[in-house]
């Protein structure tokens, strides 16, 4: 895909996170290569979103380091991490609800992609083209309040894309969607991957994880318990135990 | 400058001209005495709206910023016999710093907790002032007005004109914020702060810009107050009416643009003045309260919202150049 494929883009190095006495992440280490499609699985409450929050900067990791493009991001606020190329979607969509989809995308376009440059018309044009790509072409100037669940998920991804990330983290973008809708979202993620964007996909839907990922890692109770090819990881007894309960 | 801006600045010029005409033609001092209050409320409402309307952080402590503006002026008068302009500048700087403090609170406190903190801040400020002998303590300070500066024929007229200029300045500032990267970022913060931060918006910096400007404008509006009344004491300076009105006026007028607080302040401010003359000033807070409830229920987008619904024309392009 890209000439730099195989290079380490993101390194999560021995990261721990506690909430009071509760350990949400315990010594998690993982490396993500440029262009990779990494599946992140784990039962509810295993710390997937917490790990994403530590990577995006929404939470501060208590120990360890998040290293992106060779730079240690510890202590860096989220907006600066986004400017360095990390974008995420939220598990529960968080649109700017008083704005239209175009205006939603204008925020990262103005604050990240075209900081200090670009005219209003360019930004609008770019927002429209991303939204059309995502299949939201006919809704882009309507109020967000009228969007369906799947449209909100797409808007989450579209808005993250507007920041032109090197790494996109998708947090359960398919939860609660129908099979056809899942396929739509999956197709979008594949297209983004083809463009060279590194993607971490958090998902419960196994067939989506199996189809999408080059590699899968599994969190359980804040610990990484498995990692490897998708087929191997789902067969791993620890993973099966974590999912089925022991 | 585009057509809209041209119209806007022409409007500002016309408003200033109207104020001058009023000064030249009307003799009745009361007109200026009352208009001053309405203008003062426009400034307070606009200032409140920069934080409350644009960024969604509800400040219940406007009275503290207003009163500390007045007390900063009093301090400058007593300590340095400073002229009015210096009083206003120092007041704005002092309350701007207070705004910075409130802004830092927003690091940890969101929503109702932020609002409660602003109430606490107001109570603390009032207690401190009440116990500061140099600033008159609980019984206040009586002041004698100096002679008005030519060409003004009375001090009230002069204060009216000063407040008119501050009003226009506040409107220009609010409009600038609204149409700039700052305003668009604040709007994203109001809609969803976490998402805004993750989409590249430097939320802390923008919130601090908003709290400092908002606080400074409130303090500036309060600076001429001691001279306007020829008297200042804590209970009236920290009156709940300022906090409630500064919040009610934008909500009634509409919080989405600078015009909302102006409409709300003119409307409510005028009603308050009429009620004060005809019945009693005690009724003011009650009237504000009733109108507020009415609008929150019947027209949550304020008066502006009612008009916008009718004229929902194609919106101008979102976004623009960030700094
Ligand atoms: N901000 C927080 N404060 C306290 N506990 C939290 C917080 N965020 C997550 N947790 C806890 O951490 C654990 C992991 O949560 P999360 O990362 O959301 O799990 P997942 O995304 O894998 O379902 C859960 O037990 C959750 O209750
Ligand atoms: Mg989660």
Sign of CA dihedral B294, B300, B301, B307: negative
Atom of ligand 1 nearest to the CA of A172: 21
Query: What local confidence, expressed as pLDDT, does residue B322 receive?
Result: 39
Atom 2, ligand 1: which residue's CA is nearest? Answer: A19
ipTM of the complex: 0.90
Q: Which residue has the higher pLDDT, B45 or A143?
A: B45
Q: Are strands A223-228 and A8-19 parallel, antiparallel or unpaired?
A: unpaired
pLDDT tens digit string along A128-138? 999 998 889 89
Q: Which residue has the higher pLDDT, B232 or A177?
A: B232
Task: Check CB contact of B277 with chain A, cutoff 8 Å.
Answer: no
Residue A50 inside a domain? The answer is yes
For the whole model, what pTM was predicted? 0.91
Residue A2 inside a domain? The answer is no
pLDDT tens digit string along B28-67? 989 999 999 999 999 999 999 999 999 999 999 999 999 9
pLDDT tens digit string along B161-181? 999 999 999 999 999 999 999
Q: Is the pLDDT of residue B318 over 50?
A: no
Question: What's the gap between Cα A211 and its chain centre?
Answer: 17
Given B184, B321, B323, which is nearest A107 (Cβ)?
Answer: B184
| Whole-number Å distance between alpha carbons of B246 and B138 | 25
Domain coverage including residue A212? 8-99+166-244
Residue A52 inside a domain? The answer is yes
Mark which residues 166-185 of B lie under 8 Å from A by CB: 181, 184-185
Looking at residue A190, which CATH number applies to its domain? 3.40.50.300
Are the C-beta atoms of residues B102 and B59 closer than 8 Å to each other?
yes
Residue A238 inside a domain? The answer is yes
- In which residue are the tokens 């009003």 written? B167
Residue A148 inside a domain? The answer is no
Residue A207 inside a domain? The answer is yes
Which residues of chain B make contact with A94, given a CB cutoff of 8 A?
A: 192, 194-195
Domain count, chain A: 1
% of residues, chain B, pLDDT over 90: 74
| Whole-number Å distance between alpha carbons of B108 and B114 | 8
Are the C-beta atoms of residues A134 and A195 closer than 8 Å to each other?
no
């Amino acid at each position: 895909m890209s000439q730099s494929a195989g290079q380490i883009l993101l390194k999560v190095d021995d990261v721990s996170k506690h909430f009071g006495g509760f350990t949400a992440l315990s010594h998690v280490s993982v490396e993500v290569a440029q262009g990779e499609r990494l599946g992140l699985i784990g039962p509810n409450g295993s710390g997937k979103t917490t790990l994403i929050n530590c990577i995006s900067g929404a939470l501060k990791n208590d120990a360890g380091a998040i290293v992106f493009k060779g730079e240690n991001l510890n202590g860096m606020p989220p907006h600066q991490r986004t400017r360095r190329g990390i974008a995420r979607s939220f598990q529960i969509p968080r649109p700017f609800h008083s704005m239209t989809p175009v205006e939603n995308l204008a925020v990262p376009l103005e604050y990240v992609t075209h900081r200090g440059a670009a005219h209003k018309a360019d930004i609008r044009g770019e927002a429209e083209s991303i939204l059309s790509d995502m299949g939201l072409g006919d809704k882009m100037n309507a109020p967000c309040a009228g969007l369906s669940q799947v449209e909100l998920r797409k808007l989450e991804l579209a808005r993250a894309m507007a920041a032109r990330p090197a790494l996109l983290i998708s947090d359960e973008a398919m939860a609660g969607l129908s099979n056809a809708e899942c396929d739509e979202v999956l197709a979008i993620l594949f297209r983004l991957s083809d463009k060279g964007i590194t993607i971490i996909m958090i998902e419960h839907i196994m067939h989506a994880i199996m189809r999408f990922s080059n590699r899968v890692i599994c969190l359980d109770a804040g610990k990484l318990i498995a990692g490897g090819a998708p087929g191997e990881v789902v067969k791993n007894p620890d993973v099966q135990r974590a999912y089925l309960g022991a | 400058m585009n057509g809209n801006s041209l119209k806007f600045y022409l409007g500002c010029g016309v408003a200033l001209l109207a104020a001058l005409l009023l000064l030249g033609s009307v003799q009745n001092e009361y007109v200026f005495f009352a208009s001053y209050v309405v203008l003062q409320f426009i400034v307070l409402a606009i200032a409140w709206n920069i934080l409350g309307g644009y960024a969604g952080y509800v400040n219940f402590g406007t009275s503290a910023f207003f009163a500390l503006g007045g007390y900063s002026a009093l301090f400058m008068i007593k300590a340095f016999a400073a002229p009015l302009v210096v009083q206003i500048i120092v007041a704005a700087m002092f309350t701007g710093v207070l705004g910075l403090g409130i802004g830092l609170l927003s690091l940890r406190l969101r929503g109702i907790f932020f609002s409660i903190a602003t109430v606490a801040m107001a109570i603390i400020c009032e207690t401190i002032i009440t116990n500061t002998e140099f600033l008159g303590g609980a019984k206040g300070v009586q002041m004698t007005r100096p002679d008005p500066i030519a060409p003004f024929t009375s001090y009230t007229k002069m204060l009216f004109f000063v407040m008119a200029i501050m009003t226009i300045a506040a409107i220009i500032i609010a409009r600038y914020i609204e149409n700039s990267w700052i305003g668009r970022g604040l709007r994203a913060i109001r809609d969803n702060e976490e998402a805004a931060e993750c989409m590249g918006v430097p939320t802390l910096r923008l919130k601090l810009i908003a709290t400092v400007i908002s606080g400074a404008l409130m303090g500036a509006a309060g600076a001429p107050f001691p001279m306007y009344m020829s008297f200042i004491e804590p209970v009236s300076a920290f009156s709940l009416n300022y906090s409630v009105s500064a919040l009610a006026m934008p909500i009634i007028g509409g919080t989405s643009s600078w015009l909302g607080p102006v409409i709300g302040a003119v409307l409510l401010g005028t009603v308050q003045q009429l009620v004060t003359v005809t019945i009693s000033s005690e009724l003011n807070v009650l009237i504000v309260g009733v109108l507020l409830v009415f609008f929150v229920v019947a027209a949550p987008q304020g008066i502006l919202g009612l008009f916008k619904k009718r004229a929902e024309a194609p919106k101008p392009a979102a976004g623009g150049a960030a700094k």
